[in-house]
Chains A and B, each alone.
Chain A
Amino acid sequence: AQKITQTQPGMFVQEKEAVTLDCTYDTSDQSYGLFWYKQPSSGEMIFLIYQGSYDEQNATEGRYSLNFQKARKSANLVISASQLGDSAMYFCAMRGRSGNTDKLIFGTGTRLQVFP
């Protein structure tokens, strides 16, 4: 069965520091996609970054980068130079197959708090 695990319910980081949010996944698919979303207290789920299973390089989008280690089945999000506005819930997700349907399978999330 497809599964996403985020083991950190909460993380604290000081402004301007880097932080890594952990994500491990389980799948028997040969080809899959991994996504990270940010959810501020307002509720909207904001797409941050995507990593394909066959991508040889780690994905980067501005201050976000994805540390993809395929053999370990991990896809950690690294946020560099944290800002106060980065305080939010962060969800790791995987495009996986459940039965005959492709689904986006989400982890339980990590709440990141950035302090001055």
Chain B
Amino acid sequence: ETGVTQTPRHLVMGMTNKKSLKCEQHLGHNAMYWYKQSAKKPLELMFVYNFKEQTENNSVPSRFSPECPNSSHLFLHLHTLQPEDSALYLCASSQGLAGPERETDTQYFGPGTRLTVL
């Protein structure tokens, strides 16, 4: 596997279900991200992890719970979701550059998980 992979690619779940999205990066990066992309809305940053530590929670509801066991893996645990949570969930990774080099810190994305909440 190369780049950033995400599983599953498609997920349909009921509002009472519990499911998890998985992201894995094979780029040797230190930072990982979860984004939500809804129809006709800009990409929304949800969570950021840098060296396994959460550095950003962009006011995301608690029904979304991230987990980053190591720099290569990122999970998004889902429970009691709402229909408005239906969206494309994208994972990304980057080197996690800081200081003067941070502007060059390019994020590489996975193929996304298309989530439908019934």
Contact = CB atoms under 8 A, between A and B. Distances in A.
Contacts, number: 52
User: For chain A, which range describes its interface: under 10, 10 to 19, 20 to 34, or 35 or more residues?
Assistant: 20 to 34
Contacts of A108: 42
Contact of B42 (A50, A52, A102, A107): A107
Interface string B42-73: 11010010000001100000000000000000
B104 A47 contact: no
Interface stretch (A16-24, A38-46, A70-78): A38-46
B99 to A, nearest CB: 11
Given A43-B88, A44-B109, A44-B111, A103 B104 contact: no
A32 B104 CA distance: 8
A92 B56 CA distance: 22
A95 B102 contact: yes
Given A43-B88, A44-B110, A101-B55, A31 B103 contact: yes
A95 B56 contact: no
Interface of A: 31-33, 35, 37, 42-47, 50, 52-53, 91, 95, 101-104, 106-109
